[in-house]
Chain A
C-alpha cells in the first residue's frame, strides 16, 4: 500500500520533470524580459512558480534541475552497481586468500573520507558531467560489493554451481550466467538504497557550486538560499521537490528491504 502510493508520487515527479518544460512557454535559462523580475507565483505571465531575481521562470527551472538530478542519480547508481556487483561477485566466487585481500582493500577504502575526495576531484578536474557520474559512482560501490560478496559466498556452495563447474563452464561464465542472475533481488534493494544517496551527493556538490551544471536541484536550493529575503519561493519550490524525491525514494527502498527480509523469512 505505502509502496504503491510512494511509487505513484515518484512517477508524478518524474512526469513533471519531463513534461513541465513542454507546458511552459519559457526555457531553462531564458530570461523573461517582459515579465516582472523576482515575481511571486502568478498566473498572469504563466510563471506558475514565480521568477528569480534574474527573471528566469522557476517552474521550468525546477523541472530542468530535476532532470539533471535524476539523470545523475540513475547513471551514478548504475556505475556503482556495475563496480560493486563485479567486485563483490569476483571476491565471493574466488574465496580464500583473494577474497580476504579484496575485502581488506574495501575496509581500507571505507576508512577514507570519500566525500572530500569527491570534492577534491570535482574542484581539481573541472565540473564535467561524465566525471561527476564516475566520481559519485566510484564512491558508492563499497556497500554493494560487501552485500554481493556475502550473497555470493552462500551461492557458491549450492549444487547448481557445482554442476555448472562439472559441466566445464569457465569461471567467468559461471559468474555471469549463474551467480549474477541469482543476486537480482538483493541488488535491486541495494540499488534502491543507493539512488537517494547518489542524488544527495550530487545536490550537495551542486549546492557548494561544484556540480556539473547550474541547474540541478542542489544548485537551485543554493540560489534560493541566497535570495530567500526577496524571493522565498525560489528556495521553497526546489527544496520541496528535492526533499520529496529523497523522502519517497527512501520510503520505496525501505519497503523493498522489508519485503526482501520478509520473503527470506518465509522461504
Chain B
C-alpha cells in the first residue's frame, strides 16, 4: 500500500514538469511582454527593469533559474504587482477561494447526495424522471449563465441578497456565489449517484441480499453505497480542484478577490510568474486529488487495490 502510494506520487512529478515547461515556453513564445503598457517606458527604465527581472538572460537560463527557485518553494516576483512575490499574491487570494469552494463542495455533496439517492430509490415513479430532467438542466447550463441570472433574480429584482462584493463582516456576500458554484456540481453528483445506486442494486449479490429479506434501507446503508459512490468520487477529484482554486466566472460576476481571476488577468498582463504559479497550483491540486481518489477507490473496493 505504501509503495503504491509513493509510486503514484512520484509519477505525478513528470506530469507537473510537462505542465510547467509547456506553460513557460508557450508564454514566452507569445508576442508582447510584461512591461508593454499604455505609455512606452524610457529605454533606460525598460533596460533596468529587464535586467532586474533577468529577462535579458537567455531563455534556457531563465527556465533553469525558474526551476531552481521552484525547488526552493519560491515562485518568483510578480511582474505586474510591483514588490509582491507570487507566493504572497496566491497566499492572499487562496483563502477566499478556499472558503467559497469548500462551502460549495459541502453543499453539493449534501444536496447532490440526497437528490441522487431519492431518485434511485424511487426509480420508476414520477419523482425519478422529474429529478433526472431537472438535474440534466443543471448539468447542461453553465455557471456563467446561471450566475448572472441568480443576480438578476435575487439581487436586482427581489433585492434579498447583495449583487456582489466581498466584505469580511457580511456573510450574505457568500450566498449567491456559493449557490452558483454548487448548482452544476449538485446536478452532476446527483446523476452519478443515481446511476451508481441503480447499477449497484441490480448486481446479483445485492439482489440476493434483497431476496433474503434485508430491508432496502440497510441494503443501501451497508452495501450498495460502496460501489455507488465510486463514480461520484472520480468526478469529485478534478471538480474539487476546480472549486477550491476558484472559478474565473463566479469571481468575475460577483467581484470576488479570489484566485480564479488571476488565471485570466495575469495571462493578459503577461505576468509570466503569476500565470505559472496559478497553473502550477491548480495542476498540483488536480494531481493530489486524483491521488486521493485512487486511495479511496482502493479503500472502497479491494479488487482495485493492485491497479
Contact = CB atoms under 8 A, between A and B. Distances in A.
B282 A123 contact: no
A228 B249 CA distance: 16
Interface in B94-140: 136-137, 139-140
A120 B267 contact: yes
A108 B279 contact: no
A113 B279 contact: yes
A162 interface: no
Contact of B136 (A113, A119, A208, A250): A250
Q: What class of interface size applies to chain A in its complex with B? A: 35 or more
B114 to A, nearest CB: 23
Contacts of B31: 124-125
A200 interface: yes
Interface in A101-153: 108, 111-113, 116-117, 119-121, 123-125
Interface stretch (B21-29, B51-59, B199-207): B21-29
Interface of A: 108, 111-113, 116-117, 119-121, 123-125, 196, 200, 203-204, 207-208, 210, 218, 221-222, 224-225, 228-229, 232, 235-236, 239, 242-243, 246-247, 249-251, 254
Given A204-B249, A225-B148, A120 B275 contact: yes
A246 B143 CA distance: 12
B144 A203 contact: yes
Interface of B: 12, 14-15, 18-19, 22-23, 26-27, 29-32, 136-137, 139-142, 144-145, 147-149, 151-152, 156-157, 248-249, 252-253, 263-264, 267-268, 275, 278-279, 282-283, 286-287, 290
Contacts of B136: 247, 250-251, 254
Contacts of A243: 137, 140-141, 145
A229 B156 CA distance: 7
A228 B156 CA distance: 8
The 10 closest A-B pairs by CB, nearest first: A124-B30, A225-B148, A247-B140, A123-B267, A246-B140, A250-B140, A207-B144, A111-B15, A243-B141, A239-B145
Nearest to B287: A111
B144 A119 contact: no
Nearest to B263: A116
Given A120-B275, A224-B148, A208 B286 contact: no
B57 to A, nearest CB: 21
A221 B30 contact: no
